[in-house]
Chains A and B, each alone.
Chain A
Amino acid sequence: EIVMTQSPATLSVSPGERATLSCRASQSVSSNLAWYQQKPGQAPRLLIYGASTRATGIPARFSGSGSGTEFTLTISSLQSEDFAVYYCQQYNNWPPNFGQGTKLEIK
Chain B
Amino acid sequence: EVQLVESGGGLVQPGGSLRLSCAASGFTFSSYAMHWVRQAPGKGLEYVSAISSNGGSTYYANSVKGRFTISRDNSKNTLYLQMGSLRAEDMAVYYCARAKPPGIAAAATDYWGQGTLVTVSS
- Write out the residue numbers on chain B whose beta carbons fall within 8 Å of the beta carbon of A100: 44
- Write out the residue numbers on chain A whose beta carbons fall within 8 Å of the beta carbon of B107: 91, 96
Decide yes or no whether A71 CB sits under 8 A from chain B. Answer: no
Decide yes or no whether B19 CB sits under 8 A from chain A. Answer: no
Q: Is the CB of B59 within 8 A of A91?
A: no
Q: Is the CB of B103 within 8 A of A91?
A: yes
Count of CB-CB pairs between chains A and B under 8 Å: 58
Give the contact-size bracket for chain B: 20 to 34
Overall SS of chain A's interface: loop
- Write out the residue numbers on chain A whose beta carbons fall within 8 Å of the beta carbon of B103: 91
Asked if A101 meets B110 with Cβ closer than 8 Å, knowing A43-B95, A46-B100, A91-B103, the reply is no
Q: Is the CB of B112 within 8 A of A96?
A: no
B: residues with CB less than 8 A from A are 44-47, 50, 59, 61, 95, 100, 103, 105-115
A: residues with CB less than 8 A from B are 32, 34, 36, 38, 42-46, 49, 55-56, 87, 89, 91-101
